[in-house]
Each structure stands twice: as structure tokens, then as C-alpha cells.
Homo-oligomer: A and B are copies of this chain.
Amino acid sequence: MTVEADIFADGHDALLAVLLYRKDGASNWTEIPMQPLVNDRWRGTFEVDEVGDYYYALQAWVDRFESWRRAFAKKVEAGQEAALDLLAGAELVEEAAKNAVGEDSKSLIRFAATLRGDKPAAIRSGLDDALAELMEKYSDRRWAVNYGKELRVNVERAKARFSAWYELFPRSFASTPGAHGTLRDCIDRLPYVAGMGFDVLYLPPIHPIGNSFRKGKNNTLAASADDVGSPWAIGAKEGGHKAIHPQLGSLADFKRLIAEAKKFDIEIALDIAFQCTPDHPYVTEHPEWFRKRPDGSIQYAENPPKKYQDIYPLDFQCENWQELWNELKSIIVFWCDQGVRIFRTDNPHTKAFPFWEWVIGEVKRDYPDALFLAEAFTRPKVMYRLAKLGFSQSYTYFAWRNTKSELTQYFTELTQTEISDFFRANLWPNTPDILTEYLQFGGRPAFMTRLVLAAMLGASYGIYGPVFELCENVAREPGSEEYLNSEKYEIKRWDLEKPGSLREFIARVNRIRRENRALQGDRSLRFYPVDNPEILCFGKRTEDLSNIIVVAVNLDPHHTQSGWVELPSEELGLDPQQTFQVHDLLTDARYLWHGKRNYVQLDPDSEPAQIFRVRPRIRREQDFDYFM
């Protein structure tokens, strides 16, 4: 954790500054000396090695001894009389000696005596680094200034930064055709998901689905008797948010799923959708948690003229709000107790901000490794606010950023501004609600392009499958982003072995992410110029430049595009005069590049993107023993 501050005082005295930090709960501060950079800017760094909150603070003061020493050294250098200066120095040292103990005290007293003694020895002592070091240790902080605030940094585990999500509807994976898939079937699909390299398996709500006003296929108002309903319509006579839909299986099955997934290094993420159907037990047990209409009936969700009579929103500001909030917290805690640590939160922006801040803090106190992904498709400032309230990750506008300028502008904002201090993007090219026009009309190359963009621009990304790898792209109607025959409202059957599946391609991309540390964070993202608006080129790198990845993507899914990309040699530690190798990790092809501008050509049908690892040239003729 690197902290910088502008630190200065009136006059020309030397200053000292320290960065103080402590883990939340610890009573003692640890002190780190800060170093001046340029233009009155100072920097200090401390290590955070546990998840949770750390607090930090700043203190600075005038260093009287160093101020004295600088002036004294200049006088000595100029051969000026400095007898009085030596006495002034001795006074400072004697004052410090009073606060020192043991050897330090004795040392300081000896130094003071020398400063008051014979000139040549006194001068040598005045300039002695050992004295300066001791004097810094006992520097007088009576007039030290503290920065007005104690600041907080929240540390989460690495998965908050680097994760690959896969979303599936378990009910579509029955082993017998026509049956309702179960959590056990889901266990059977783990090798498939792991084979593609995902490490988070996200399940839409697994709770009992309401019957009242149940939606039929394609979100129609009238459901027929065999319609299964939307998993987000939570609550039925079988239970609410702590229950499991009977057709999916038992709690034991769920815990087995978690355990089996762990063997594949996969974590199960659950959906937190705090809303109820009219059949939810809360409706009869706690009608006071819902808003009432003037006739005493419970208010269903509305976005006039649209009505959602199958959904009752909870009233976070109801009279018994504390009871309600505690119950909602107990839902998250319940699933934590079953072993879940990752929660995808449905529409958090429509619930009370203070609730999220409170509940995330509460849950993390007992489960500090809990992570929360905000499904906040809302205005940017609301999205960012949720991140500040405690969400670990957030959905973004990625799905609708398709052109070079859109992508460059948006991801520069997310990674290069203060937003990167509190907001972590999780990029989804599709979701059960979002089948973008780019995917609808771009064919298989569009899916490959969007996969590479999501996985490379975002250290965290996810896809909703298997529709994604199977390149399903038929919308319900022109202009709609809804899937035709959406899995949200019916059980689907997927042919995972279908030719053209992107399964292998995705597996390769995820392996590249795991093997290249540069791709496991977003702050190093930089865009590079290309003289073709259809080719986007960007790079990520580790701080030590030991891992440098450059990605070139053809944004045009219909035509081969080519162009000259311009890499910033100095920034990447490349000698602009030397040849270097770029290794396409997708095809294993290797190219020798030279200078700043190099050529790329991308055919959407064969390889719409290249993911290069940049390798400085290892050997040339001068490197041979016998050269010269």
C-alpha cells in the first residue's frame, strides 16, 4: 500500500515525515519513514498481508537537527567560522540525550561533549552520519502535525481482483432428457466447467419458485401448468431464501456440490436477490416488511406502466427495519455457514445504500473472505457508490462498449483514474438478460472477440453459458436484447459437444490468464495506437516488467483487418534499436518485432485476436563468448 502526500512547511527547515498504520483491531500503530520525491511530494509504503481493514495516518515535523546540520556543512565547506554553530549543535544534541535511554543516551552525551571540545574533532562529529541517525531517532516531535484524517484501506483476498466466472442454470443439465436438472447433475458438469478454466461457478437463485403470477415461456404473463418459472421469483410454500428448490435437491446435495467444486478449484457463487413472490413465507409471517397500498394489499413491483405482480419488494425503511435487516443478514450468514463465500447481488441499487454498507460489514466481520459482486446496471455514480459501500466487484457497461473509442475511453476511466481505488470491474459479454446486438449479428467471431476483450481487459470476467460457448445468438425480437426462449423461464437442453463450440478456445484464454501475472490485475492496462480504427491494441504488465502481455483484437467480425501497432518501448523496457520476440499465446506462433511500429493482420474467421507475450531478445552475436 503506497501512500503519497504533499508535505511542506513555511521557511527552509528540513522535515521528517512518517506513515503510520495498524490492522483494524490492533491498538498499536507501526511507523514507516516517508521519503521525499520531488515538488514537496512524499511517499511511504506498508505491507498488507491479511484481509480486512487497515487504518493509516500521517505525521510530519520540522527536523531541527538536520536543518542545523545542512547549514553547518555549508559553512564548513566554505571555510567559515562555525564556533557558535558547534555550540548550537551541542545544545540540540544535549536536549535529545534527555529523551534517549541506554547506549543511545551515552552516545549522544559523548557527541555533545565532542561538539563542545576541540575544533577539528568537533567538526567531524557535527557531520558524523551516526550522530545524524541518532538525532533522527530522538527527533523532537512536540510540534509534529498530524494529517486531519485517519484513512482506511480494505484488503480482500486475491479472488476479488482476479476471477473467471461461469454462470449456468442447473435445471437445464438433467442427465435424462426432459427432466428437471439437479444440483447432483451440476456436480457432473464440474469437469466441463473446470476444463474451460473457470474458478467461480455462479448459480442463479436456487430457492423455491413462487406460483402466483408465475411468468411463462418468453416472459409471458400467463404461465401454463408445466412452466417452471423464473429463479428470481423467490419464495413458495416450500420456503424462502434459506431453502432450496425441491426439484434441485437438498441442502446436503448443495454442500456436496461445494465440496466437489473445491476439488476443481472452483468456488460456488450464490445469487442474493432480496425480493419475494406473493407465496414467500415472509408475506404471511411479516407483512409489515412490505409496502402497503391504500387498500391494505401489499405493493408489488412497478415501473409504470410495467407491473411485476409476481414480485414484492421489501421495504428497507419499514417501521421494523432492524428486524428485517437482521433477517436478511441471517440469509447471507446461513449460506456462509454452508460454505459459500461469493455472492452475486441482484439489483443492489434498488435497495437502501445504508443496508449494504451495514450488512457487508457485518458479514465480513465473521467471514472476512466473503466477496460480493454488485449487479448494478445503473448510473455511473450509483455504481461507484456501491463499490465504496463495500462491494468487491461490479458488473459494468462493458457489454455495450464495442468500438475502439468506446472501449478505450471507458477502460481508461475505470483503470487510470481514482475510480480504480475503490471499484473492481467484472466484465460480462453476455448475461441471461443481455444478448447484445454485437453478438446477435457478429457470428462466432463476435463471441471470440468479446471473450478475449472481457478476459484480457478485465482481471475478472464471466460468461453466461453454455449459450456463450455455443454462440447462441437469437433474440426474442428485433431490437430486443432478450434471448429467444430464454432459459430464465424454461428448462433448456444443451449439446455441449456441438461443433464450433468455443470450449477449447475459452480454455486456452483462461490458461493464458492463469499463467501470466500481468493479466491478474487491471491497473497496468494501457492502450496503444494502431492506424486502423477496427483494431484495438492494449497491454498489461507486471511492475517489474518480467511479464508483458500485448493484445491485438479485430473489432470487425466480418472482415480481415490489418494495421501498424505502436508500442511504447521505454515503458515496456524495450530497446527501440533492438529486435524482440512476440509470442502469440493463442496459436503459439512467434514473431520478431523491431522498433516502435509493427504490423498485425487479423482474420475474424481464423484468429480475430492475438495475445502476445513480449520477450526481449535473449541472444545476439555480441552475446557469444568469441564475439570481439
Contact = CB atoms under 8 A, between A and B. Distances in A.
Interface of A: 6, 8-12, 39-40, 70-72, 74-75, 77-78, 80, 84, 87-88, 91, 293-295, 302-305, 349-353, 379-382, 385
7 contacts: A8-B381, A9-B353, A11-B349, A11-B350, A11-B351, A87-B295, A91-B294
Given A87-B294, A293-B84, A8 B379 contact: yes
A424 B381 CA distance: 33
B305 A78 contact: yes
A399 to B, nearest CB: 20
Contacts of A305: 74-75, 77-78, 80
Contacts of A74: 304-305
A9 B316 CA distance: 13
Nearest to A292: B88
A380 to B, nearest CB: 7
A293 B39 CA distance: 32
Contact of A349 (B10, B78, B80, B294): B10
Q: Is the interface of A mostly helix, strand, loop or mixed?
A: mixed
A62 B12 CA distance: 52
The list of the 8 closest CB pairs from A to B, nearest first, reads: A78-B305, A87-B294, A74-B304, A40-B381, A71-B304, A10-B353, A75-B304, A84-B293
Contacts of A91: 294
Contacts of A70: 304
Given A11-B349, A78-B305, 18 more contacts: A6-B381, A8-B379, A8-B381, A8-B382, A9-B353, A10-B382, A11-B350, A12-B303, A12-B350, A40-B379, A40-B382, A71-B302, A71-B304, A72-B304, A74-B304, A75-B304, A84-B293, A87-B294
Nearest to A75: B304
Contacts of A84: 293-295
A28 to B, nearest CB: 30
Nearest to A354: B10
A220 to B, nearest CB: 19
Contacts of A78: 304-305
A39 B379 contact: yes
A293 B6 CA distance: 32
Which of A11, A349, A353, A385 has the most C-beta atoms of chain B within 10 angstroms of its own C-beta? A11
A11 B354 CA distance: 12
Contacts of A12: 303, 350
A352 B304 contact: no
A385 B381 CA distance: 31
Which of A6, A294, A350 has the most C-beta atoms of chain B within 10 angstroms of its own C-beta? A294
A294 B88 contact: yes
Contacts of A302: 71
Contacts of A352: 10
A305 B70 CA distance: 11
A355 to B, nearest CB: 9
A352 B303 CA distance: 61
Contacts of A11: 349-351
Contacts of A350: 10-12
A351 to B, nearest CB: 6
A295 B6 CA distance: 37
A41 to B, nearest CB: 9
A71 B91 CA distance: 78
Which of A304, A379, A382, A385 has the most C-beta atoms of chain B within 10 angstroms of its own C-beta? A304
A270 B167 CA distance: 75
Contacts of A77: 305
Contacts of A380: 39-40
A80 B78 CA distance: 93
A119 to B, nearest CB: 15
Contacts of A72: 304
A19 B334 CA distance: 45
B8 A385 contact: yes
Contacts of A87: 294-295
Contact of A381 (B39, B71, B75): B39
Which of A8, A9, A349, A379 has the most C-beta atoms of chain B within 10 angstroms of its own C-beta? A8
A203 to B, nearest CB: 26
A8 B389 CA distance: 14
Nearest to A353: B10
Contacts of A10: 349-353, 382
Contacts of A379: 8, 39-40
A94 to B, nearest CB: 12
